[in-house]
Amino acid sequence: MLNNIYNIFFIPEIFLACSSFVCLLFGLFLKKNAFRQTSNLAVFVLLLTILLVYYDSESNFANYKSLFSHSSFINFFKILALLGSIASIIISKDYFLGIKLKNFEIPVLFLFSTLGMMLMIASNNLMSMYLAIELQSLSLYVAAAIKRDSISSAESGVKYFILGALSSGILLYGFSLIYGFTGSMNFDDISFYLSKYDNLNLGLIFGLVFVMVGLAFKVSAVPFHMWTPDVYEGAPNSITGFFAIVPKIAAVALIYRFCLVPFENFYLEWSQIILFLSIASMFLGAIAAIAQSNIKRLLAYSSIGHIGYILIALVAANDDGIKAASIYMFSYMIMNVAIFAILLSLKVKNEYLINISDLKGLSKSNPIVSLSISIIMLSMAGIPPFIGFFGKFYVFIAAIEQELYVLSVLGVLASVISAFYYLRIIKIMYFDESISEGIINFKISFQSKIILSLSLFLIICFIFYPSLLINISANLTI
């Protein structure tokens, strides 16, 4: 209840927004170690935000003029995004210092982008949804281009910006059509209006398709994925890590909410689009990754493939689907945090690792690191007993519950194809004889080591006590 004006600062989004400004000023006035201090403060702020999200479950503001909504699903994804953001700030700190990119703005940009994501996940209105998307995207455009003296970073930033702006335009046009034909921007009102009709009229169908295209761009589903590999490749590794881990969480939550709230009753219309996106993403992600020699491009295609699986659960559109999506997204986040924590600490001849072939001989020089990478790769490929398998398993349970047999079979076939390139990394580390040894240097800070060990622990030990996550995700309502 808002009977006390100070309570407003305990609303997670407002708290995060204010703290972001504080961080900005904090960094500005610091003379020394501005980057490091601001990062630490940002992590602290995000931790507090998690606590607020966790405890502030009955906030009235959240429904302020129905711009935002409130549910367990939203809270789960908010916490997931915040966790991902914390992890990526921590693991990237040493990398930034290593490449002498010490702008204190970076953690602040991450904070603003995370704020945008929280609003995205919670938005219940086309307008707030658009603004939230723009908030997170604008911060990310800047982040991608943050390495100002690097051509590739600038290129990736510009590419991301132009394509992102285009997709936002398409999205906005879709919103305008939906608004024009339903007379409302609010999800619940749209849903109520649409419940009076049996099928969508042409304008609404166009609106829906445009919005789907825009959202597909945000989750980087095929055929709107072109930007992903380029942006991943061009941006500094740690920014890539952030891209891979966090924005996907928010975008997935948004696409779920958009399909399942206002257009709940028009399953047939949107599910065809999602079905196509899903199959195309799984197969393109699996096949295109085979030919990659750059580890960041490979991970880009791998994330495209993972999005395909999450969309299977969306096509299923049942409670199991929501559960599957949250479990899959959790495992996706954990696996990406782990792999990026390693990549951001691996140096080959004093350069950060880019080419997969540079991993050659890692199993001799750093047996524990190569074992960890192998476990992450097997988990991403969905081989039991690691967490990635259970993500896929729940997705297929949801799909089969909805009798989507063909889609499930296509899904498992794509997972076999994708197993090839994950195995190839293991092959390079273990099977290939290294010519020279000792050129790979693994130096990891204490904090990232904790993050890495924690995520590896979750990947390996999820099987022993799955109920914790599963009970949470089973009770999520959209």
| Mutual angle of helices 446-461 and 319-343, in 10-degree steps | 140
Q: How far is the CB of 423 from another protein (least distance, A)?
A: 6
CB 441 within 8 Å of CB 347: yes
Residue placing its CB nearer to another protein in the complex, 343 or 428: 428
From residue 170, alpha-carbon distances to 43, 135, 207, 212, 398 in Å are 35, 17, 9, 9, 31
- Tell me the window of 144-152, 223-231, 417-425, 446-454 that interacts with another protein (CB under 8 A): 417-425
Residue placing its CB nearer to another protein in the complex, 3 or 436: 436
Q: How far is the CB of 474 from another protein (least distance, A)?
A: 5
Site for another protein in 290-349 (CB under 8 A): 323
411: its two tokens? 């899904």
DSSP classification of residue 333? H
Q: Which of 169, 180, 223, 466 binds another protein (CB under 8 A)?
A: 466
Q: Which of 265, 385, 434, 460 binds another protein (CB under 8 A)?
A: 385
Residue 423 near another protein by CB under 8 A: yes
17: its two tokens? 């927004």
Residue placing its CB nearer to another protein in the complex, 214 or 361: 361
Residue placing its CB nearer to another protein in the complex, 134 or 432: 432
Q: What is the total count of residues that contact another protein (CB under 8 A)?
A: 33
Q: Which of 8, 25, 127, 416 binds another protein (CB under 8 A)?
A: 416
350: left (phi over 0), alpha (psi -120 to 50) or beta: left
Residue placing its CB nearer to another protein in the complex, 261 or 423: 423
Q: Which of 430, 441, 454, 460 binds another protein (CB under 8 A)?
A: 430
Q: DSSP for 180-210?
A: HHHS--BHHHHHHHHTT-SS--HHHHHHHHH
189: left (phi over 0), alpha (psi -120 to 50) or beta: alpha
CB atoms within 10 A of CB 196: 7
Residue 471 near another protein by CB under 8 A: yes
Site for another protein in 365-384 (CB under 8 A): 367, 378, 383-384
Q: Which of 85, 292, 331, 415 binds another protein (CB under 8 A)?
A: 415
From residue 200, alpha-carbon distances to 103, 114, 192, 270, 275 in Å are 50, 35, 13, 11, 19
Q: What residue ranges bind another protein (CB under 8 A)?
A: 323, 363, 367, 378, 383-385, 389, 393, 396-397, 400-401, 405, 408-409, 412-413, 415-416, 419-420, 423, 426-427, 430-431, 463, 466-467, 470-471, 474
